[in-house]
Amino acid sequence: MATKNGKNQVDDSGLRFTSRENGSPFVGMGKVGETMSCMKCGVHKPRRLGSQRRFAGTLAFFCFDCKPPLEKK
């Protein structure tokens, strides 16, 4: 398997990706489960920037950019 930069080699320790950072891209974003993927745009955002809405018979997370909050009457 080749990569664009050519740094995809198996190391003596058995690791393949030596140029890749360790860990998750969501480190430092808060507690586990605090970010969710928007059902419409697919972007991971904190729960406080979206809401759970009924979609296809189940609850799904939508960010406020895709579905603005409902106005109260």
- Residue 40, CA distances (Å) to 16, 25, 62 in order: 34, 21, 7
* CB-CB contact of 37 with 25 (8 Å): no
Give the pLDDT of residue 31.
63
Give the pLDDT of residue 12.
74
- Between CA 72 and CA 44 the distance in angstroms is 27
Instruction: Give average pLDDT by consecutive 10-residue segment, the chain, 73 residues.
Output: 57 67 62 79 88 89 87 73
Give the pLDDT of residue 62.
92
pTM: 0.53
